[in-house]
Structure 1
C-alpha cells in the first residue's frame, strides 16, 4: 500500500472518529454570528445560501444535489467543512414545528428575504420559481383529490419503510411517475419552464420526484400547512415581480 493511500486512510479514519465539536471549524461558526447571525438576520442567512450555491449562475436542483443541501438526518456527526455544511448542521438541530417556524420567521424577516430577489432574476432563472410553483400545485392536488391522497399515502409508507431494499426505491419512483405526477406539475417542471441556466445533473424525473416526496417529509415533521403557506406567500410576492424583468 502506497504512503499516499495510507495517509488518506488515516485521515478518513481520523475524521470518522471526531465528534461534531471536533469537526466544526470556527470560521464556519463565526460567520453565523458576524456576517449572518442565524437567529437575528434570516435574510443574510438566505443570501449566504444563494451565494454558496452560486444560484446566480446555477440551477437550484443541481446545486441541491451537488451540495446535499438541505439534507435531513438524525445523525449530527457529519464533518462540517463549509458554510453550507454548517447551515445544514443547524437545519438538523433547529425545531421545525409550526410553532417554532412562526416564532423564528417574522413578517419582517419574510419581507427582507423577498427583497433579495426583487432586484434580479435569480428566483426565476435558477428554477426556484418553478420548484415553488410545482410544490404548491402538488400540495393542492394531494389535498383536494381523494385518489391522489391514496397514492400519496402509499408513497409515504414506502419512503419511510426501513427495509434496505432497492426495490423500495423503484416502487416509490413508480408511484410518483405513474400514480401521482399530474400533467400540470410535469409541465411546470419541464425543461422548457424550469431554468434558464444549464441543467446539468437536473432531470425532470428527479424534479417531479422531489416535489411529491417533499410533502411526505413535511407531513412527517407535521409542518406541511405552514410550509405551504410560506411557499404561497413567496410565490404571490415574487412571481409578478419576475415578469417585470
Structure 2
C-alpha cells in the first residue's frame, strides 16, 4: 500500500513538473513569435522606405533626362533658358568639388592676367545681370557659370550651408601656393570692403549716409533714371561716406596702371559702398562680412 501511495505521489510530481515545463515552453514560443512579428514589421517598413526612395529617384532621373534633352536642343541655338539649368541641378550637389569650382571661377576671371579692380568694377556686369535676365549663352563653361552666378540663392542660411568649413579650406587652397590674391589687387578690395563695413556699423553719421545711398540706389521712380540721380548717388559715396582710411586703401595705383585696365578711384569708392547696399538689400551683409573676414585672414600673405 505504501508503495502505491509513493508511486502516486511521484506520478503527481512528474505530472506537475511536466505541466510547468510545457507552460514555460508555450510562453517562450509566444515570446519568440512576437519578436519575429516585430522584426518582420520592421523589415517590411524598411523595404517600403527603400521602394519609396527608388520611386522618387526614378522620377528625378526621368525629369532630368528630359531636361538634358531640352538643353541639348537649345544649345544648337547657343542660348539656353536659365530656368532649365537651375531646374536641372535642383536637389543635386552640382558643386560637389568646391575647390575645383573656385579654381574654375579664378581661371574664368583671368585673375592671373588681369587685376581684380578691372574685373569686379569694370567687367562684373558680364557675370552678374540679375535674376530677371532670362537667357545667357551656354555653349561653354563660362556661360553655364554665369547662369548659376545669377541665380544662386543669396540668403544667409543657404550661404552658410553651402560654404561649410571643408569648402572654405578648399577655396583657401586655391590661393595657397601663389600670390594671386595680392598681385591681382583682390586683397586691396577686400580690405576696403571690410573697413567700409566696420565704419558703417560703428558710425552713426556713416550709417545715415549709407541708408540714404541705399534708398536712392533702389528708387524705382522715373527720376531715378536721370543722370542727376546717378550723380547724387556717386556724391554720397565719394564725398559723404568715404573715409580717409578707405580712400588710402583704394588709392594704391599699382593695381590699375595700364590704360586698358584703368579704373578711377571714385569708381572704386562707389563700388565699395554700393556693394554693401546690395548685400544689405539681400539681407546677408553680416554673413558676407564674416566670410570675407575669414577669407582675408586665411589667404592674405602680407
Q: Give structure 2 stretches of 5+ with no counterpart.
A: 1-73
Distance 1:211 1:21 in 2: 40
Question: For 1:43-192, what aligned pairs fall within 5 Å after superposition?
Answer: 43-64=99-120, 65-66=122-123, 68-81=125-138, 82-162=140-220, 163-192=224-253
CA contact (8 A) 1:20 1:79 kept: no
Q: Which has the higher contact order (CA 8 A, sep 6+)?
A: 1
Q: Deviations over 1:31-53 (max 9, x none)?
A: x99xxx74212221221111112
CA contact (8 A) 2:136 2:147 kept: no
Find the residue that maps to 1:68 and give its secondary structure: helix
TM-score, length basis structure 2: 0.65
Root-mean-square deviation (CA), in Å?
2.6
Structure 1 or 2: larger helix share?
Answer: 2
Distance 1:148 1:39 in 2: 38
Q: Residue 39 of structure 1 is aligned with which of 71, 95, 106?
A: 95
Classify 1:196/1:214 alpha carbon distance in 2 versus 1 (closer, same or farther; 3 Å): closer
Distance 1:231 1:79 in 2: 29
Q: Partner residue of 1:201?
A: 262
Q: Partner residue of 2:65?
A: none
Cα distance, 1:72 vs. partner?
Answer: 4.4
Distance 1:196 1:55 in 2: 13
Q: Give structure 1 stretches of 5+ with no counterpart.
A: 1-18
Cα distance, 1:103 vs. partner?
Answer: 0.9
TM-score, length basis structure 1: 0.79
The alignment covers a number of residue pairs equal to 214
Of residues 60-69 and 217-226 in structure 1, the stretch that sits farther from structure 2 once superposed is 60-69
